[in-house]
Amino acid sequence: MDERLRRQLDFALEIDKEKNILRQTHLSGQGRRENDAEHAWHMAVMAYLLREYANEEVDISRVMLMCLIHDIVEIYAGDTYAYDTEALQNQKAREDAAKEQIYSLLPQDQKEELIALFDEFEECRTAEAKFACAMDNLQPLLLNNSNDGGDWRAHQVSAEQVRRRQSRTRLGSEVLYQVTENIIRENIQKGSLTD
């Protein structure tokens, strides 16, 4: 086996570990906690299905790839809960170190390609990154809503915290942002989110 193929297969096996990274969000219908790989798959499918609601025309294959690769770094960096203010302070440093470590398993050209996609997602400036970020925010919100806001209640999350996070959704899709705002209002009324 040549060196390039060996490195690609090593990377493919290493990213299987993403299935072991548990998130705070539970699956719909009061299910178990979801893992990062499930989150990534769900976002990629959602991006394809909801692409017509992007604020700008997007290269959907690029969006889907961003959705699929952006949490791979959490294999080494761990998951950071969206509303954990302490862990958010050093998230970038942890993920930057993990990004270098995991993508260095690949041949140099693919390492550079995936790091560029990861960085594009994090910067949230291109139409594709904005829409991928919208999926990253919308997906757990939909799951939380399907569970009557149980994860928000468990972590005592406020409506203001959710709105701040969903501001990135607005950058990618005004239509989907309005959906998130309706869900937030409903969950304030149910007492799942504090106002």
Q: What is the pTM of this model?
A: 0.95
Q: How far apart are CA 166 and CA 184, in angstroms?
A: 10
Residue 91: per-residue pLDDT? 87
Tens digit of pLDDT for each residue in 92-105? Answer: 999 999 999 999 99
Residue 83: per-residue pLDDT? 80
20 pLDDT above the threshold of 80: yes
193 pLDDT above the threshold of 90: yes
195 pLDDT above the threshold of 90: no
Q: How far apart are CA 35 and CA 11, in angstroms?
A: 19
Residue 144: per-residue pLDDT? 94
30 pLDDT above the threshold of 80: no
CB-based contacts of 29: which residues, under 8 Å, 6+ apart? 146, 147
Residue 82: per-residue pLDDT? 80
Tens digit of pLDDT for each residue in 54-72? Answer: 999 999 999 999 999 999 9
Among 35-44, 80-89, 94-103, 129-138, which is the least confidently predicted range? 80-89
* Tokens representing residue 136 in the block: 């990253």
Q: How far apart are CA 81 and CA 24, in angstroms?
A: 7
